[in-house]
């Protein structure tokens, strides 16, 4: 597939928004409590606390500029009776995730190919695991983004 200029062949017309959000969150200085544990799916041998992200809805803006509006879901998981994964820890991490999204400046390149045009955290819900009672908070973030182009 040949992409129209000025879009980069290695990035594409639309960004890999979720992949780049995961990369960005894994390295974010506000999130040292999870030390890179940001996943699309919870691993079988998980270490808690951790963050799981997912696409909660992405649409393309009409018009000639290829811009996406995405609602990113963020689950912050703790564990029952594990130090560093208590309800208080999950709450602190959730607030740090919200702050990271809210303080993300327009025009910032995240990951390898996503330029953020707008970022805002949304609703937070306390949603403990119904099977184990482990603490979990669910957060959404609304992002507007475009792919990195040859001109930036």
Select from 133, 143, 152 the least CA-distant residue to 16: 143
All residue ranges of the chain with pLDDT < 70 are: 1-12, 151-152
What is the Rg, in whole angstroms, of the alpha carbon atoms belonging to the chain?
16
Token pair, residue 43, equals: 């691993």
Pick among 3.40.1010.10, 1.10.10.10, 3.30.360.10, 3.30.2000.30: CATH of 17-147:
3.30.2000.30
The domain limits of the chain are: 17-147
So what's the pLDDT on residue 5?
52
Question: What is the per-residue DSSP string for 53-107?
Answer: EEEEEEEEPSSSS-EEEEEEEEEEE--TT-TT-SHHHHHHHHHHHHHHHHT--TT
SS3 content of the chain, % helix, strand, coil (to 5): 20, 35, 45
Tokens of 13: 């017309």
Tens of pLDDT, residues 77-90:
999 888 889 999 99
What distance separates the 2 farthest-apart alpha carbons in the chain?
Answer: 54
């Amino acid at each position: 597939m040949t992409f129209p200029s000025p879009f980069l062949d290695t990035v594409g017309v639309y960004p890999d928004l979720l992949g780049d959000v995961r990369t960005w969150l894994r390295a974010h200085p506000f999130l040292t409590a999870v030390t890179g544990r940001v996943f699309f799916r919870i691993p079988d041998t998980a270490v808690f606390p951790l963050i799981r992200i997912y696409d909660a809805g992405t649409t393309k803006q009409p018009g000639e500029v290829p811009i996406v509006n995405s609602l990113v879901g963020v689950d912050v998981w703790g564990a029952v009776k594990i130090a560093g994964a208590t309800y208080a820890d999950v709450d602190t991490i959730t607030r740090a995730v919200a702050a990271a999204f809210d303080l993300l400046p327009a025009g910032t390149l995240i990951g390898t190919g996503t330029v953020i045009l707008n970022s805002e955290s949304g609703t937070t819900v306390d949603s403990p695991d119904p099977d184990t009672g482990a603490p979990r908070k669910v957060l959404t973030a609304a992002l507007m983004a475009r792919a990195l182009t040859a001109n930036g």
